[in-house]
């Protein structure tokens, strides 16, 4: 009886070890280029590109107080050292109001078939992280692929907001890729 229990315990431990060998992890991807540049640069040098204004937690930022303004970036590719099963893509923004407690912006994802905006983020005078999680690719309704992530275009917009509530300062933009390897 004791040997049987010991064998069951060993088999159970092997099952747990094998099941946990595929671990979920995340990778942060930063903007590498701006493809639509309608927001204002603040604190960026004259030789800086738009994406360089939102790739670090520092004094630089992009801002707007206007309606129908977009800022869209391409992002770094996934590292080439693995095969990825993408669980989700999260767009993150370190943001605060432009000049009013009513200020808002929306997360924006641009794909081959269109643009997808989140609901709006209400901002305050303090810097905070806002995010939008995309579990599935919106064009297909299927899981994200490595190619989808490597061709990611995303940013922020004030489209659909009114002149009294459109506005934001964005200090950092990044994409968090949750994957299983």
Q: pLDDT digit string (tens) for 147-157?
A: 999 999 999 99
Please say whether the beta carbons of 119 and 106 come within 8 A.
yes
Does residue 87 belong to any structural domain of this protein? yes
pLDDT given for residue 60 in this prediction: 94
Does residue 103 belong to any structural domain of this protein? yes
pLDDT given for residue 164 in this prediction: 87
- Across residues 8-32, what is the average pLDDT? 63
Residue 39 has pLDDT above 80, yes or no: yes
- Look up the domain containing 39 and give its range: 23-180
Does residue 153 belong to any structural domain of this protein? yes
Domain count, the chain: 1
Which residues, in sequence order, are CB contacts of 97 under 8 Å at separation 6+?
103, 123, 124, 125, 167, 168, 169
Domain of 140: which CATH number? 2.60.120
Whole-number Å distance between alpha carbons of 15 and 44: 54
Of 87, 74, 112, the C-alpha closest to 176 is 87
Does residue 18 belong to any structural domain of this protein? no
Please say whether the beta carbons of 157 and 39 come within 8 A.
no
Confidence of residue 15 (pLDDT cuts 50, 70, 90): very low
Does residue 36 belong to any structural domain of this protein? yes
Residue 127 CA to its chain's centroid (Å): 17
């Amino acid at each position: 009886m004791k040997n049987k229990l010991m064998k069951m315990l060993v088999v159970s431990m092997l099952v747990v070890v094998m099941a946990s060998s595929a671990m979920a992890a995340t990778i942060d991807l930063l903007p590498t280029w701006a493809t639509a540049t309608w927001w204002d640069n603040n604190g960026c040098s004259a030789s800086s590109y738009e994406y360089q204004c939102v790739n670090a937690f520092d004094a630089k930022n992009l801002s707007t107080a206007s309606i129908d303004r977009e800022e869209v970036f391409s992002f770094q590719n996934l590292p080439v050292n693995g095969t990825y099963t993408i669980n989700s893509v999260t767009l993150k923004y370190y943001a605060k109001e432009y000049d009013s407690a009513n200020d808002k912006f929306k997360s924006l994802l641009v794909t081959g078939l269109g643009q997808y905006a989140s609901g709006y983020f209400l901002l305050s005078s303090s810097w905070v992280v806002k995010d939008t999680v995309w579990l599935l690719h919106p064009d297909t309704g299927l899981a994200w692929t490595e190619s989808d992530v490597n061709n990611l275009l995303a940013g922020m917009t004030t489209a659909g907001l009114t002149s009294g509530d459109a506005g934001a300062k964005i200090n950092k933009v990044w994409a968090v890729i949750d994957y299983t390897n």
